[in-house]
Amino acid sequence: LRDPETNVAQAYGARCTPHAFVIDRGGVLRYSGAIDEDTSLDGVGGRPYLADAIRAVLDGEAPEPAQTTPHGGELP
């Protein structure tokens, strides 16, 4: 989703970029937060929160965790 005017980001309460959201087919927010748990700049390691959440939703399950703290640059 491209959101150059940050309308969607504001609607879902995004605090920074990247701030990932997984929304199910019914429009229900199922996951919000970091893409993964890696906060380093090298991009190596850490639990893949977003991939795990997508997989859970596609399997009809609740993501665990359903929310994490996003890390990234603040939105304008």
In the predicted model, is pLDDT for residue 7 greater than 80? yes
Mean of the per-residue pLDDT values of the chain: 88
In the predicted model, is pLDDT for residue 33 greater than 70? yes
Q: Which two tokens stand for residue 30?
A: 């199922």
Q: Which of 76, 68, 7, 3 is nearest to 38 (CA)?
A: 68
Pair 37, 68: CB distance under 8 Å: yes
In the predicted model, is pLDDT for residue 41 greater than 70? no
Is the model more confident about 10 or about 45?
A: 10
